[in-house]
Amino acid sequence: MPLVDLRSDSELVAAHRAGERRAFDELVRRHGDRLWALAYRTLRDPEDAADVLQEALEAAYRRVGSFRGDAAVSTWLHRIVVNKCLDRVRHDRARPPSAAGRTHRDPVVLDPTEDATDRLAVLDALARLPVEQRLAIVLVDVEGYPVAEAAAILEVPSGTVKSRCARGRVRLAGLLGHLRADA
């Protein structure tokens, strides 16, 4: 195994199909931080984000053999995380509070800088947006994806991403005090 795996994502998928189990590990190492950021910034709760990321990557691991290559591997991985996030949010909406609770696990330990980050008002405000707007803003404005790439990940037209971002920014402008209702 070379020190730095120079194979493309597609080549890693092919290697995985050929039985090289560490090929998928390399994909996780390559994209794990960004997939985690997407889940964590969208769901806000590190435990939920950890659960969703695990479900998504296990699903990807099981299905990577049937990946058809009609999108970039990274886009495909992001889509799975997005869909798991949507499932989680919709499930939580439908679930009565008394039914809340998850299987006990060791708590997710964030880097020390994350604790400070957690307190940022902007993330609290972000969490109050509808999840579709949140996802668009996390991808475009927080993580810096081009609109076209965000659209591919979210499987909507670019115009829809722009519209969701626009509406989300208006809401955030109010929540963050940049726009006052009485002004």
CA distances from residue 38 to 143, 149, 183 in whole angstroms, order as listed = 8, 14, 34
CB 52 within 8 A of CB 39: yes
Q: What is d(CA 109, CA 119) in angstroms, rounded to the nearest whole number? A: 16
Instruction: Select from 56, 108, 102, 101 the least CA-distant residue to 83.
Output: 56
Q: Which is nearer to other proteins, 96 or 181 (CB)?
A: 181
User: Quick one: how far is CA 11 from the chain centroid?
Assistant: 24
Shortest Å, Cβ 46 to other proteins:
7
* Closest CB to other proteins among residues 97, 112: 112
Confirm or reject binding of residue 65 to other proteins (CB under 8 A).
Answer: no
Q: Rule CB under 8 A: which of 79-138 touch other proteins?
A: 105-111, 113-114, 117, 120, 122-123, 126, 137
Name the token pair of 182.
């009485």
- What residues line the site for other proteins (CB under 8 A)? 1-4, 21-22, 24-25, 28-30, 32-33, 35-37, 40-41, 46, 49-50, 53-54, 57-58, 61-62, 105-111, 113-114, 117, 120, 122-123, 126, 137, 141-142, 144, 159, 162-163, 165-167, 169-170, 172-173, 176, 178-179, 181, 183
